[in-house]
């Protein structure tokens, strides 16, 4: 049996690093979406040299036609640009015009809806890895409007995974542990110790866990199953908000205010669910779907509303030394200023206004220490953690050969905790 010397390394890819990846630089750009065609809740993953397509969509609330272009950029495992010429990873043009758009109708909020399928006839990635889709105006790269991540994968390394209770009794009923095994018999890797395995819970990009330290190596098999390998807080099923009809109050809506052509929707206050017993229900794991209950066209006829989220603490006072975040796809799956709740001393509550398109949304609240953030305790005080919670997990296997300047994704798999039971 081969013996490899493997440097021990296990770490979180945390929010300060990822805050520069998915970003919207123009407040008029709303509802930026990317997903595999026909699968609006799936991660934006496509297979290299396949017929897979990703659908990119966004709305421009200036309601004026703009010439938008896109380019793609290959990133390393840490979402930093690689030292390669674009033509080393792009077949075709580096700048591409976005030609498909629809002018909104019926909706009181006027907007232009832009969309395109990727890859296109004029732009296709020729290497696997982490990518950024960058959209900019008028063909000027310095007028970046937004960037959005996606993944191009090769499936050279079979990945098997399962979800277990953590070995640590202190968290065995509150967290979930992912056991990962790789089969390397079909690939010739000169330095297998240069493999990195990354595990993502739902779409929480802030807290992707990465390890290059297998706990067992048996011939061509590598296993990652040490005590603290890939342990995530289980949380609870996500909170929900039904905005499919902006004229009628659903269970979560306290008040609808019509101010001219703008709808202000005041939600019922949220509170901690940490002490509430666990019960299961179908949720979207922090994602959202653009939809309506009126039989209109989702992309170009759904309207927008200003939505006020509020969160009240048990003692009516703000958390000391901790920041409260509204977490989920509705705030870009990042814990940044856009997701941070603001304390309103007059109302005695945390508040956050968001501009949201008609649809069905799911979200959670995350409380983090400002000095010593610990992702393992994200939901402890706001949602509670229960091992039974349904969560989705995605596994990426990265490999950078000696002398290479980019990280390939040579393995990919996904699993769900419900299907695992």
Q: What are the phi and psi torsion angles at 299 (to 5°)?
A: -70, -40
Give the pLDDT confidence of 251-278 residue by residue, as tens digits: 999 999 988 888 999 999 999 999 999 9
pLDDT at 193 over 90: no
Q: Is 206 left (phi over 0), alpha (psi -120 to 50) or beta?
A: alpha
Q: What is the 3-state secondary structure (H, E, C) of 254-283?
A: EEEEEECCEEEEEECCEECCCCCCCCCCCC
Please name which of 16, 56, 33 lies closest in space to residue 361, comparing C-alpha atoms: 33
156: which 2 tokens?
């050279």
Does 12-153 match 155-234+390-420 in CATH topology? Answer: yes
Where does 128-169 show beta strands of DSSP type E? 129-137, 144-153, 159-164
Instruction: Write down the pLDDT at residue 375.
Output: 86
Q: Do residues 366 and 379 touch, judged by C-beta distance below 8 A?
A: yes
How many residues can be counted in the chain?
A: 421
Instruction: Write down the pLDDT at residue 264.
Output: 96
Higher pLDDT, 207 or 2: 207
When pLDDT is averaged across residues 46-70 and rounded to a whole number, the result is 96
Instruction: Write down the pLDDT at residue 226.
Output: 86
Where does 61-126 show beta strands of DSSP type E? 68-75, 90-92, 96-98, 101-103, 112-118, 123-125
- Domains of the chain, residue spans: 12-153, 155-234+390-420, 239-377
When pLDDT is averaged across residues 42-66 and rounded to a whole number, the result is 96
Instruction: Write down the pLDDT at residue 57.
Output: 97
pLDDT at 150 over 60: yes
Q: Do residues 104 and 113 touch, judged by C-beta distance below 8 A?
A: yes
Q: Is-above-0.95 flag for pTM?
A: no
Give the pLDDT confidence of 61-77 residue by residue, as tens digits: 999 999 999 999 999 99
Contacts (Cβ under 8 Å, ≥6 apart) of 384? 235, 236, 272, 273, 274, 275, 276, 278
Instruction: Write down the pLDDT at residue 357.
Output: 98
Could you please state the CATH topology (level 3) that the domain comprising 155-234+390-420 is classified under: Immunoglobulin-like (2.60.40)
Instruction: Write down the pLDDT at residue 189.
Output: 82
The band of 186, judged by pLDDT with boundaries at 50, 70 and 90, is confident
Instruction: Write down the pLDDT at residue 20.
Output: 60
Query: Beta strand pairing status for 304-312 and 322-327?
Result: unpaired
Where does 269-341 show beta strands of DSSP type E? 270-271, 288-290, 304-312, 322-327
Residue with tokens 């509204």: 326
Give Cα separations from 148 to 58, 75, 126, 142 (angstroms). Answer: 11, 12, 19, 16
d(Cα 147, Cα 49) in Å, to the nearest integer?
A: 23
When pLDDT is averaged across residues 321-348 and rounded to a whole number, the result is 95
pLDDT at 3 over 50: no
Instruction: Write down the pLDDT at residue 93.
Output: 95
Q: What is the mean pLDDT of the chain?
A: 91
The pLDDT > 90 percentage for the chain reads: 78
Give the pLDDT confidence of 4-34 residue by residue, as tens digits: 434 444 444 433 334 468 999 999 999 999 9
Instruction: Write down the pLDDT at residue 19.
Output: 40
Give the pLDDT confidence of 375-398 residue by residue, as tens digits: 888 999 999 999 999 999 999 999
Distance of CA 266 to the CA centre of its chain: 26
Give the pLDDT confidence of 273-323 residue by residue, as tens digits: 999 999 988 999 999 999 999 888 999 999 999 999 999 999 999 999 999
Give Cα separations from 84 to 115, 120, 131, 402 (angstroms). Answer: 28, 21, 13, 15
d(Cα 251, Cα 243) in Å, to the nearest integer?
A: 10
Average the pLDDT over each of 53-67, 118-132, 208-222 and give the range with the smallest value. Answer: 208-222
The pLDDT > 70 percentage for the chain reads: 95
Nearest 5°: CA angle at 308, between 305 and 313? Answer: 165
Q: Which of 3.40.50.450, 2.60.40.10, 1.10.3720.10, 3.90.480.20 is the CATH number of 12-153?
A: 2.60.40.10
Residue with tokens 């750009």: 29
């Amino acid at each position: 049996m081969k013996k490899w010397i493997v440097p021990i390394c296990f770490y979180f890819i945390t929010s300060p690093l990822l805050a520069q990846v998915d970003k919207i630089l123009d407040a008029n750009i709303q509802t930026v979406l990317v997903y595999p065609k026909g699968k609006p809740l799936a991660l934006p993953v496509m297979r290299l040299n396949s017929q897979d397509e990703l659908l990119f969509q966004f709305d421009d609330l200036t309601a004026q036609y703009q010439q938008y272009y896109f380019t793609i950029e290959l990133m390393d495992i840490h979402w930093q640009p690689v030292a390669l010429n674009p033509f080393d990873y792009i077949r075709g043009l580096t700048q591409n015009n976005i030609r498909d758009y629809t002018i909104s109708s019926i909706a009181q909020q006027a907007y232009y809806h832009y969309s395109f399928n990727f890859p296109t006839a004029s732009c296709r990635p020729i290497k696997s890895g982490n990518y950024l889709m960058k959209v900019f105006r008028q063909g000027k790269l310095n007028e970046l409007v937004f960037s959005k991540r996606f993944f191009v994968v090769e499936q050279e390394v079979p990945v098997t995974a399962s979800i277990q209770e953590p070995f640590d009794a202190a968290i065995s009923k509150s967290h979930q542990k992912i056991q990962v095994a790789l089969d390397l018999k079909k690939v010739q890797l000169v330095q297998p110790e240069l493999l990195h395995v990354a595990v993502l819970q739902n779409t929480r990009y802030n807290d992707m866990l990465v390890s290059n330290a297998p706990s067992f190596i048996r011939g061509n098999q590598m296993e990652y199953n040490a005590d603290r390998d890939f342990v995530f807080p289980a949380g609870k099923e996500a909170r929900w908000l039904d905005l499919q009809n902006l004229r009628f109050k659903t269970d979560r809506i306290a008040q609808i205010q019509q101010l001219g052509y703008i709808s202000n929707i005041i939600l019922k206050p949220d509170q901690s669910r940490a002490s509430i017993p666990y019960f299961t229900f179908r949720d979207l794991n922090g994602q959202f779907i653009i939809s309506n209950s009126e039989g209109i066209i989702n992309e170009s006829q759904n309207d927008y509303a200003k939505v006020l989220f509020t969160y009240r603490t048990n003692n009516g006072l703000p958390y000391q030394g901790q920041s409260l975040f509204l977490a989920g796809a509705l705030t870009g799956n990042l814990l940044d200023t856009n997701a941070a709740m603001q304390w309103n001393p007059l109302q005695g509550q945390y508040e956050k206004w968001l501009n949201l398109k008609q649809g069905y949304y799911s979200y959670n609240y995350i409380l983090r220490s400002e000095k010593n953030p610990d992702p393992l305790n994200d939901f402890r005080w706001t949602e509670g953690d229960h091992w039974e919670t349904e969560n989705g997990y995605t596994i990426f296997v990265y490999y950078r050969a000696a002398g290479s300047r980019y990280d390939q994704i040579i393995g990919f798999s996904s699993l769900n905790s419900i299907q695992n039971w």
